[in-house]
Amino acid sequence: MAAVESGWKVVGLDNSATRVAELNRGHSPVEDISNDTLSSALKSGSYKASSNYEDISIADVVTICVPTPLDEKKEPDLTALRGATISSAPYLKNGALLVSESTSYPGTLRTEVIPLVEKNRPTGTTQLFFATAPERVNPGDQVWNQKNTPRLVSGIDKDSHDKAMDFYRSICDAVVSVETPEIAEAAKLLENTFRLVNIGLINEFTKLCGPAGIDVNKVVAAASSKPYGFMPFRPGVGVGGHCIPVDPLYLKWWANQNNLSSPMVELAEKTNTEMHKYVADRALKLMAPKTQKARVLLLGVAYKAGVSDVRETPVSHLRQHLIFLGHTVEWMDPLVPTWEKTNPTNELNGFDVAILAVNQPGLPISELQGMGTPILDCTNSFSGQSGIQTL
């Protein structure tokens, strides 16, 4: 949509027929793009969704932004990136610029994408251009978006670089020229590893403060008064989504390929992944004494506030742990219609404890307070209110 707004004619190519049909009906699957924005782009003829790779044959610029998840061994799974590259390559027109936007380890453009294009490109093409420009979006963010977030760009050679800089200058307010694609790819991993490690630190800090009766959120607020050298991170149930829990493991894998290790990533990942046990323990301590088999209400199950995305949500681990301990778990999230093959509850009566995992809009906090249900607020949104404890 940023490219549409800048006057480009855009085809959104996707191998999911359902996704393509949904888009062409004007239904946006992305929270930050309204149906109205999508519909007017469709109506003006400046955008269409398609699953026909032949549409690439008229494109001056092809950006690949497919998922780069982990496989069952928690290692990089480049199936979609390789698949999209192989499917696009035969249709690239002479002089086209191909940009890899998907997050991956350093060297992905040079050693994965380009060789696959070279192998599958049309024989008639004399020149193609290649660049990387890692996607930087923060779903649900009201301030920072695709347009106003500075974009890292690096081409494989000077001409590729210049073409990519021109394209991103046309759709972003600020473009940052980076010397090599590997630096841009590594920078993306650093950004998200920085978050993982700092969230891990604050989660560890939370476990140290709790037993001492110190509210960690008040500690973070106090430390934040320092105008330099400190940046606040908040404790929570863990980390979720398809970036923070995933990207640092690309870094770890890449380090291992080079016979190196990344112990800080591993420790932060372990700390965050185990945080749900501390949360469960704190919540169960709020119940009436002698409650053996509790009814627990989870409030907010998406991976973060303001989104419906449940991928990698840490609330899953919390739910499974509570069930493993023998408790009954129900949940509510106004943005999530179904989750883990279960439906949300409409009932507020009879819960021994509620855990506010993610502060989604429209949760019945005051109703639960009125009913005297103890609430553990993992989001520090209702600090100091009656019946509510923070982490």
Ligand X SMILES: NC(=O)c1ccc[n+]([C@@H]2O[C@H](COP(=O)([O-])OP(=O)(O)OC[C@H]3O[C@@H](n4cnc5c(N)ncnc54)[C@H](O)[C@@H]3O)[C@@H](O)[C@H]2O)c1
Does the protein bind ligand X through residue 154 (CB under 6 A)? no
CB 367 within 8 A of CB 387: no
Instruction: Report which of 238, 121, 131 is spatially closest to residue 185, judged by C-alpha positions.
Output: 131
Closest to ligand X by CB, 139 or 374: 139
Q: Number of residues in contact with ligand X, rule: CB under 6 A?
A: 20
Does the protein bind ligand X through residue 373 (CB under 6 A)? no
Say if strands 375-377 and 388-390 run parallel, antiparallel, or are unpaired.
parallel
CA distances from 213 to 193, 208, 217, 219, 369 (A): 30, 9, 12, 12, 23
CB 333 within 8 A of CB 344: yes
Does the protein bind ligand X through residue 150 (CB under 6 A)? no
Closest to ligand X by CB, 168 or 351: 168
Q: Which of 2, 65, 187, 264 binds ligand X (CB under 6 A)?
A: 65
Q: Which of 11, 48, 50, 67 binds ligand X (CB under 6 A)?
A: 67
Closest to ligand X by CB, 13 or 184: 13
Site string for ligand X, 13-52 (x = CB under 6 A): xxxx--x---------------------------------
Closest CB 35 distance from ligand X, rounded Å: 17
Non-local CB neighbours of 381 within 8 Å, separated by 6+ positions? 356, 359
| Cα dihedral sign, 21-64-184-244 | positive
Q: How far apart are the first and last CA of the chain?
A: 39
Closest to ligand X by CB, 53 or 205: 53
Does the protein bind ligand X through residue 145 (CB under 6 A)? no
Selected range binding ligand X among 64-72, 106-114, 264-272, 312-320, rule: CB under 6 A: 64-72
Closest CB 247 distance from ligand X, rounded Å: 7
Residue 87 gets which letter from DSSP? Answer: H
Q: Which residues are catalytic?
A: 243
Say if strands 97-100 and 375-377 run parallel, antiparallel, or are unpaired.
unpaired
- Provide the 3-class DSSP secondary structure of residue 331: strand
**88, 90, 94, 97: CA torsion to nearest 10:** 20
Q: Which of 49, 220, 243, 318 binds ligand X (CB under 6 A)?
A: 243
Site string for ligand X, 277-316 (x = CB under 6 A): ----------------------------------------
Q: How far apart are CA 7 and CA 283, in angstroms?
A: 52
Does the protein bind ligand X through residue 187 (CB under 6 A)? no
Q: Which of 66, 99, 113, 299 binds ligand X (CB under 6 A)?
A: 66
Closest CB 217 distance from ligand X, rounded Å: 26
Q: How far apart are CA 178 and CA 185, in angstroms?
A: 10
Environment class of 238 (CB within 10 Å of its CB; exposed 0-12, middle 13-18, buried 19+): buried
Q: Which of 11, 42, 70, 80 binds ligand X (CB under 6 A)?
A: 80
CA distances from 385 to 208, 216, 221, 238, 390 (A): 23, 17, 18, 24, 10
Closest to ligand X by CB, 76 or 374: 76
Instruction: Report which of 61, 104, 97, 56 is spatially closest to residue 82, judged by C-alpha positions.
Output: 104
Closest CB 41 distance from ligand X, rounded Å: 17
Does the protein bind ligand X through residue 68 (CB under 6 A)? yes
Does the protein bind ligand X through residue 204 (CB under 6 A)? no
Q: Site residues for ligand X, window 81-110 (CB under 6 A)?
A: 83-84, 102-103
What residue ranges bind ligand X (CB under 6 A)? 13-16, 19, 65-68, 80, 83-84, 102-103, 135-137, 139, 242-243
